[in-house]
């Protein structure tokens, strides 16, 4: 079988059931936490089957409520607590962005970096703004090693991340074990 180019791979991963069920490894939530507020409560909008993001937040002492099977598109402004944190199904990313913007609460969506660009999505970013926390190391969502694409948290509405800003971070490498550590600010993350 002919080898797929990077673009073909990401594009095919964006449209199949397998990529829609990529669970976020627990420690991969760590770089996002300093951008959040420990006194607030967040909403994991797609925790119906897996709760890895919930486990990560619990591990590091941050407050988050799972969707418990609720369809995200039925959520209204008051249902999503202080903001949305999730790894949405890649095939529905445009609809997730649209609904997040409509809800008007801060949101962080973990998606392939290729999601920066694209017809309807790009227009939304131009109109409302988009910031990102780019992961320097690829994330092994399947546990099989050799991840084929990089990820970023697409962030909007957080005080810690000005509009249309990009930050880069050394997220945990594959196989790296992160022990518990109190995190209070972005700065405390970088001397890990």
Ligand X SMILES: C[S@@+](CC[C@H](N)C(=O)[O-])C[C@H]1O[C@@H](n2cnc3c(N)ncnc32)[C@H](O)[C@@H]1O
Query: Which residues bind to ligand X, rule: CB under 6 A?
Result: 20-24, 45-50, 52-53, 67, 71-73, 86-89, 92
Smallest CA-to-CA distance from 100 within 117, 120, 111, 86 is with 86
Token pair for residue 192? 């890990």
Residue placing its CB nearer to ligand X in the complex, 19 or 131? 19
Residue placing its CB nearer to ligand X in the complex, 20 or 79? 20
Question: What is the number of H-type helices and E-type strands within the chain?
Answer: 6, 7
Residue placing its CB nearer to ligand X in the complex, 44 or 189? 44
Distance CA 52, CA 28 (A): 10
Residue placing its CB nearer to ligand X in the complex, 21 or 164? 21
Residue placing its CB nearer to ligand X in the complex, 25 or 157? 25
* Phi–psi pair at 52, nearest 5 degrees: -60, -40
CB of 108 to ligand X, least distance (A): 12
CB of 20 to ligand X, least distance (A): 5
Label residues 154-170 b or e (16+ Cβ within 10 Å = b). bbbbbebbeeeeebebe
* Cβ contact 170:134 at 8 Å: no
Distance CA 171, CA 179 (A): 14
CB of 179 to ligand X, least distance (A): 21
CB of 163 to ligand X, least distance (A): 25
Token pair for residue 179? 């022990």
CB of 48 to ligand X, least distance (A): 5
């Amino acid at each position: 079988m002919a080898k797929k180019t990077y673009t073909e791979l990401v594009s095919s991963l964006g449209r199949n059931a397998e990529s829609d069920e990529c669970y976020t490894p627990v420690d991969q939530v760590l770089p996002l936490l300093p951008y959040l507020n420990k006194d607030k409560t967040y909403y994991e909008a797609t925790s119906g089957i897996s709760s890895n993001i919930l486990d990560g937040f619990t591990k590091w002492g941050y407050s988050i409520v799972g969707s418990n099977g609720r369809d995200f598109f039925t959520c209204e402004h008051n249902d999503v607590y202080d903001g949305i944190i999730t790894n949405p199904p890649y095939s529905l990313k445009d609809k997730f962005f649209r609904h997040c913007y409509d809800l008007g609460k801060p949101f962080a969506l973990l998606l392939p970096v290729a999601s920066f660009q694209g017809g309807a999505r790009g227009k939304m970013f131009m109109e409302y703004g988009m910031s990102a926390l780019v992961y320097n190391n690829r994330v092994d969502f399947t546990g099989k090693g050799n991840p084929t694409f990089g990820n970023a948290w697409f962030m909007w509405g957080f005080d810690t991340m000005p509009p249309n800003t990009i930050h880069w971070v050394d997220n945990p490498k594959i196989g790296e074990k992160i022990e518990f550590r109190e995190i209070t600010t972005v700065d405390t993350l970088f001397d890990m």
